[in-house]
Amino acid sequence: MPGRLNHSKPSLNESLHHLEVLKRGTFFLEAGQCCVKIGQLQKGVLRGFVQDKNGDEITTHFYQEGDMVVASFLPNMNSSVTIQALEDCQLSVANYEEVMLQVNKNLEITAVINREFQKLHKQLQSRLVSLLNRSALEKYEIFLSDYPGLLNRIPHYFIAQYLGITPTQLSRVRKQFINKCK
Mind listing the pLDDT tens digit for each residue in 54-87?
999 999 989 999 988 988 877 888 999 999 999 9
Distance (Å, whole) CA 89 – CA 51 = 23
66, 40 contact by CB (below 8 A): yes
Q: What is the mean pLDDT of residues 11-20?
A: 71
Distance (Å, whole) CA 106 – CA 114 = 12
- Report whether pLDDT(116) > 70: yes
* Confidence at residue 129, expressed as pLDDT on a 0 to 100 scale: 75
The domain spans of the chain are 12-133, 134-182
- Find all residues with CB under 8 Å of 144, minimum gap 6, and list them: 151
Pairing of strands 82-85, 27-29: antiparallel
The pTM assigned to this predicted structure is 0.81
67, 40 contact by CB (below 8 A): yes
- DSSP three-state, residue 83: strand
Return the CATH fold of 12-133.
Answer: Jelly Rolls (2.60.120)
Which parts of the chain are beta strand (E)? 17-22, 27-29, 37-43, 46-51, 57-63, 68-69, 82-85, 89-95
* Confidence at residue 175, expressed as pLDDT on a 0 to 100 scale: 92
Percentage of the chain exceeding pLDDT 90: 52
- Report whether pLDDT(154) > 90: yes
HSE, CB side, 13 Å, CA atoms: give it for residue 85.
18
DSSP secondary structure string for all residues of 127-159: HHHHHHH--HHHHHHHHHHHSTT-TTTS-HHHH
